[in-house]
Amino acid sequence: MKVSFVSSPDFRRHQNGSYESGLYHPEIPDRLDAIENRLHRLGLWDELEIVEPMPATAGQLGSVHDLDYVTYVERACEEGPLSLDYDTGVVRESFLAATLAAGGACQAVDLVMSDAADAVFCAVRPPGHHAERDAAMGFCLFNNVAVAAEHARRAHGLERVAILDWDVHHGNGTQHTFEHDPGVFYLSIHQFPHYPGTGDATERGLGAGEGATLNVPMGAGTGDSEWIAALEGPMTRAIDEFKPEIVLLSAGFDAHAEDPLSSTLVSEAGYRTMTEIVVDWAARHSNCRLVSMLEGGYNLNALARSVETHVSTLRRASGR
């Protein structure tokens, strides 16, 4: 079925600078080259509708972030290279890349809402799910998936948005954005305990949002069978109860066995089955509307193979 792919050369212009006192930083432009070169090499690229992103507006960014923080990031980039967090750096071009990442996420929502695409994969950087309302964190500047969720509500009037986050790290920023909000169900599967430290199973949402957060922490050494069982079991039950009108996916691929930033053992075959489960959620509840955003994934080869598997599974499976 029809899969669009958000891509821009400008995502390569963001640089994090040094990592932990000058060591190699894993969140590098080569990640996108590895993904897209593989899609070209295997002929998959030509089967995708390639979408050039537009920058997010101040209104879109301001739906999740304090506008003072947006201005702070813009000024920091102008003055860059600078570090905003111990592992999150910016250069002059980072503001453009970050606004394109969040803007591309909103365009992806527009595409699935207008039926111009069944599913959209956004090959963006910087990633987003650690970004808080007023702080950069964990390689993230703006919370792309959170901005997309707010866009789905504000521009398209949706009342129930689900965000599945299968990045190996808990999406603290996304959870905090919506933990009081019953209209956005945040579901995360992640290695625990691990960076950033949040995501215990007892974190289930707050106030009116109680019950609209589901954390499924996974131990080091868990792999395909445990991760698939979590998606098929408690997460599918939660989705079937919530009945989302759109499914957003924070698709990090750093739970892969070869990834240097985790101790979990997910394989490409695991990501294939996990993709099929999420497509099934979207098919049964959301008129197939599925937007998948790249988050982490730091072994270039494993990342490229995993994204290829994910996108080819979307192409094969997403239908109506």
On whether the CB atoms of residues 220 and 257 are closer than 8 A, the answer is no
Size of the site for Zn ion (CB under 5 A): 5
Contact call for residue 167 and Zn ion (CB under 5 A): yes
Token representation of residue 125: 């950087």
Residue 38: half-sphere exposure toward Cβ, Cα within 13 Å: 18
**Between 285 and 314, how does the x/- string for binding to Zn ion read (CB under 5 A)?**
-----------x------------------
Token representation of residue 268: 């490409």
Candidate list 14, 129, 130, 169, residue with the active-site label? 130
Can you list the pairs that 26-31 forms with residues at least 24 positions away whose Cβ atoms lie under 8 Å? 26/260, 26/261, 26/298, 27/125, 27/126, 27/127, 27/139, 27/296, 27/298, 29/125, 30/300, 31/125, 31/297, 31/298, 31/300, 31/303
Closest distance to Zn ion from the beta carbon of 297 (Å): 8
- Looking at the Cβ atoms of 27 and 245, the one nearer to Zn ion is 27
- Looking at the Cβ atoms of 205 and 252, the one nearer to Zn ion is 252
For tokens 């997910």, what's the residue?
266
Contact call for residue 165 and Zn ion (CB under 5 A): no
| Rounded Cα distance, 317 and 310, in Å | 10
Could you tell me which of 76, 196, 190 has the C-alpha nearest to residue 141?
A: 76
Task: Give the contacts of 117 (CB within 8 A, at least 6 positions apart).
Answer: 2, 3, 4, 49, 108, 111
Contact call for residue 125 and Zn ion (CB under 5 A): no
Question: Which of 151, 169, 272, 289 touches Zn ion by CB under 5 A?
Answer: 169
Closest distance to Zn ion from the beta carbon of 167 (Å): 4
Residues 215-274 that bind Zn ion (CB under 5 A): 252, 254
From the list 164-172, 179-187, 234-242, 300-308, the region that binds Zn ion by CB under 5 A is 164-172
- Looking at the Cβ atoms of 195 and 242, the one nearer to Zn ion is 195
Whether 151 is a known active-site residue: answer: no
- Looking at the Cβ atoms of 126 and 252, the one nearer to Zn ion is 252
- The DSSP secondary structure of 94-146, one letter per residue, reads HHHHHHHHHHHHHHHHHHHHTTS-SEEEE--SS--TT-BTTB-BTTBSS-HHH
Closest distance to Zn ion from the beta carbon of 102 (Å): 18
Residues 81-100 that bind Zn ion (CB under 5 A): none
- The residue of the chain with the least Cβ separation from Zn ion equals 296
Closest distance to Zn ion from the beta carbon of 127 (Å): 7
95 alpha-carbon distance from chain centroid: 18
- Looking at the Cβ atoms of 104 and 252, the one nearer to Zn ion is 252
- Looking at the Cβ atoms of 179 and 254, the one nearer to Zn ion is 254
Residues that bind Zn ion (CB under 5 A): 167, 169, 252, 254, 296
> Which are the catalytic amino acids?
130
